[in-house]
């Protein structure tokens, strides 16, 4: 049994059939998509604003952020509220239903063949059994200015 200190908790979510992992410490909470208020002159991936626990949080469609096609929201669609410093952002994903602890040694840096934006957002690739989990670099994901300039 590996030591608990080597392990970190991840929230697993799915996007276009692929399983991603995000650190539980970065997630403040998770919600179902209920009401999104659109904002004028926002970029394509910004869906609008959601009102949660007294806070107004911007919601990003991660499919659009990662360059995939948008789909309709359903009962399984989740909005994951991530917090980095004072910044809180909601990531809209296809599904999110697992809370797992992943040991640090199974997380490998992303392969060099994956470059560009994808590589930029990924922190590493974890293998658990036959499962492949892409670990997100949340700071990069939340870097809007960079994104803005790149767009």
Partner 1 sequence: MVEKKEKPKESSKKNKEKDVVMTKGSNPLNLREHTDEIVRSGNELSRINDRLKEDAEKQVRKLDETIKGLNELASIIKETASQVESIASSSEEHTSFINEMAASIEQITANMVSLTSSINETSSSITETSSSIKNVADVTQEMATSATQVTTSINEIANSIRHVSTETDSLVTSINDTASTIDEMAQSIKSVAENAENLASAAEETSSSINEMAASIEEVSATSENLAALVEQISATIEQTVHSVQGVSTSAEKISESASSSASASMQLDRSIRSIANLAKTADEITNRATKDAQEGASTIEKSIKALLKIKETMKQSSTVIRDMGKRSSEIGSIVNTINLIAERTNLLSLNASIEAARAGEAGRGFAVVAEEIRNLAERAAKATSDIASIIKTFQEVTQEAVTTTNEGLKIAEEGSTLAEDAGKSLKKILLGIEDVAQLVNQISTATNEQLTAGQNLVNEASITATQAKQIANATSEQSKAVYGMVQISGQMRKIAQQVSQAMAEQAKASRNIIKAAQNTNNYAASVSRATKEQADGANQIARVMESMKKSTTIISKAISEQATAGEQVSREALRLARLIENINRAMSEQANAANQIDKAAENMKRQADQITKAMSEQSRAMKDTSFAIDNIIKQIKLITGGNIKQSELTTKISELILDIRRFFEKDVEIVHDSEKIISNLIEKVKSLDILWKKGQSKLG
Binding site for partner 1 (CB under 8 A): 9, 11, 24-25, 27-32, 75-76, 78, 96-99
CA dist., res. 101 & res. 93, Å (int) = 20
Determine the 3-state secondary structure of 120 from DSSP.
helix
Residue number, 29 or 137, with CB nearest to partner 1: 29
Q: How would you class 7 by CB atoms within 10 Å of its CB: exposed for 0-12, middle for 13-18, buried for 19 or more? A: middle
CB of 151 to partner 1, least distance (A): 31
CB of 119 to partner 1, least distance (A): 28
CB of 9 to partner 1, least distance (A): 5
Residue number, 46 or 57, with CB nearest to partner 1: 57
């Amino acid at each position: 049994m590996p030591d608990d200190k080597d392990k970190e908790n991840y929230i697993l979510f799915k996007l276009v059939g692929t399983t991603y992992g995000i650190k539980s410490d970065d997630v403040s909470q998770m919600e179902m998509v209920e009401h999104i208020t659109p904002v004028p002159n926002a970029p394509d991936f910004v869906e609008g604003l959601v009102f949660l626990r007294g806070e107004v949080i911007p919601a990003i469609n991660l499919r659009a952020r990662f360059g995939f096609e948008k789909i309709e929201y359903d009962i399984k669609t989740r909005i994951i509220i991530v917090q980095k410093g004072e910044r809180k952002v909601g990531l809209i994903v296809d599904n999110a239903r697992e809370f797992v602890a992943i040991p640090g040694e199974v997380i490998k840096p992303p392969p060099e063949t994956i470059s560009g934006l994808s590589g930029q957002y990924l922190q590493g690739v974890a293998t658990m059994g036959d499962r492949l989990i892409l670990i997100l670099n949340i700071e990069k994901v939340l870097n809007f200015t960079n994104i803005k300039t790149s767009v």
